[in-house]
Amino acid sequence: MRTVFKTSYDADINLFRHPQQMGWYLALIMLALALPFLLSVFALGEATNVLIWAIACMGLMILVGQTGQASLGHAAFLAIGCYANVLLQQRLGLPFLLSFPLAGLIAGVAGALIAMPMTKLHGIYLAIGTIAITILTEDFIVIATPLTNGVIGLMAPPIDIFGFEIDRYRTPWLLYYLILAVTLLVVLAYRNLQRSPLGRSFAAIRDSEISAQAMGVNVARTKAVAFGISTGITGLAGALMGHYAGIFNNETFNLIISIQLLLAIVIGGLGSIHGAFFGAAVVAMLPQAIAIGRDVLGRFIGGGSIAIPGMETAIFGLLLILFILFEPMGIYGRWVKIRTYFELFPFYRKDMFRRQKAYLKTERMR
């Protein structure tokens, strides 16, 4: 582990802990910029999908990993962002550059407003409340058919930015770059949040509401703000999902998507931006991986490819169970362990990351 000798307050505040770290991330960005030249059109589409999911995962991560509030309602905000973006373009004729941030804003404000009455709820009550949000939104889209076109769905128009037409099929590299830019902005905002008072008050609420309150944090309001920022970012991801998918209806953003989002950030590793990306990669690429695995398996066994409904979610569920049991810190936790192993070689000890056993003590009083 590298020891950084801090000589100024800025060493604590800066985005990167040391120049090498900045070098690594710059290299990663260069690689991301070069991807359209390295990948096939199909693979680039998959990479774009991973980035969209990463944005959505970061949105949820702010709420779950940073603030400690579980949500199974984020599919609703994907939907709100997606519908708002397209409706603003179609009904009001706004350009994408306006409708896109507005869609995020609408989803964010909606999230904060919905969260306000729910800020007193904890754990399972919050989980079930947010499930209700997802289900109600799905039904509301059908009820509001004149606006949303209900079960038939809406088509997302191609994006137009200063005369450049951005379309998944005709100009996939432009769509990729657009989404990469949004991803980087969201990462930056996330990092800024982590190093500023608001982000610290989120973490304070996660770890102990009672003492956060004693420190002067307005718990109810801060939770609503966390919901707002989280759902706002999720709304942006939803808008991008609409453009990526092209067509969507009430069932595009169902409860399964909410669950998948939550499972993704757990598999990725709660509480870190890395975790959001790892989780997004797993969710977005799992269907392809299964399809490939099925083909390979089919070739060995003979009899062509086997198609079993529900297999995707089942494998996903199994992965998750294994992770929660054996690596509760997710892929990112495993990554940190491997990195530490090499940094300390040969002095790594098996118990370095062992957690203390805790006994559950009820917060319920009769």
Encoded amino acid at 321, one letter: I
| Residues 339-358 as x/- pattern, contact with another protein by CB under 8 A | -----------------xxx
Range 121-150, binding another protein (CB under 8 A): 121-125, 127-129, 131-132, 135-136, 139-140, 142-143
The whole-angstrom distance between residue 47's C-alpha and the CA centroid of its chain comes to 15
Q: Which residues contact 150 (CB under 8 A, 6 or more apart)?
A: 141, 142, 144, 249, 250
Q: Does 17 bind another protein (CB under 8 A)?
A: no
Q: Does 55 bind another protein (CB under 8 A)?
A: no
- In the complex with another protein, which residue's Cβ is closer, 25 or 42? 25
193 φ, ψ (degrees, to nearest 5): -60, -45
* Distance separating alpha carbons of residues 134 and 81, to the nearest angstrom: 14
Contact status, residue 65 vs residue 271, Cβ threshold 8 Å:
yes
How big is the CA angle at 35 (ends 102 and 277), to the nearest 5 degrees? 55
Nearest to 264 by CA among 239, 236, 234, 295: 234
* Distance separating alpha carbons of residues 291 and 272, to the nearest angstrom: 30
The H or E element spanning position 178 is helix 172-194
Contact status, residue 221 vs residue 213, Cβ threshold 8 Å:
no
Which range in 91-99, 187-195, 272-280, 283-291 contacts another protein by CB under 8 A?
A: 187-195
Please give the size of the binding site for another protein, defined by CB under 8 A: 83
CB of 228 to another protein, least distance (A): 9
Long-range contacts of 215-221 (CB under 8 A, 24+ apart): 219/119, 220/116, 220/119, 220/120
Which range in 116-124, 157-165, 293-301, 330-338 contacts another protein by CB under 8 A?
A: 116-124
Which range in 260-268, 283-291, 329-337, 340-348 contacts another protein by CB under 8 A?
A: 260-268
Q: Does 34 bind another protein (CB under 8 A)?
A: no
Contact status, residue 204 vs residue 215, Cβ threshold 8 Å:
yes
Q: Does 7 bind another protein (CB under 8 A)?
A: no
As given in the structure block, the two tokens for residue 55 are 């944005």
Q: Does 305 bind another protein (CB under 8 A)?
A: no
- In the complex with another protein, which residue's Cβ is closer, 39 or 319? 319
Q: Does 30 bind another protein (CB under 8 A)?
A: no
Q: Does 262 bind another protein (CB under 8 A)?
A: yes
Contact status, residue 107 vs residue 238, Cβ threshold 8 Å:
yes
Pairing of strands 247-248, 164-166: unpaired
| Residues 70-89 as x/- pattern, contact with another protein by CB under 8 A | x-------------------
Burial class (CB in 10 A: 0-12, 13-18, 19+), 308: exposed
Q: Does 117 bind another protein (CB under 8 A)?
A: yes
Q: Does 97 bind another protein (CB under 8 A)?
A: no
CB of 188 to another protein, least distance (A): 8
The whole-angstrom distance between residue 190's C-alpha and the CA centroid of its chain comes to 12
Name which position in 1, 30, 210, 307 contacts another protein (CB under 8 A): 210
Which range in 30-38, 78-86, 214-222, 285-293 contacts another protein by CB under 8 A?
A: 214-222
Range 306-325, binding another protein (CB under 8 A): 308-311, 313-314, 316-318, 320-321, 324-325
Q: Does 289 bind another protein (CB under 8 A)?
A: no
Q: Does 189 bind another protein (CB under 8 A)?
A: yes
- In the complex with another protein, which residue's Cβ is closer, 30 or 308? 308
- In the complex with another protein, which residue's Cβ is closer, 93 or 310? 310
- In the complex with another protein, which residue's Cβ is closer, 180 or 204? 204
* Distance separating alpha carbons of residues 236 and 59, to the nearest angstrom: 9
Q: Does 199 bind another protein (CB under 8 A)?
A: yes
* Distance separating alpha carbons of residues 301 and 314, to the nearest angstrom: 21
Sign of the four-CA dihedral 96, 157, 45, 254 = positive
Q: Does 105 bind another protein (CB under 8 A)?
A: no
Name which position in 1, 5, 13, 163 contacts another protein (CB under 8 A): 13
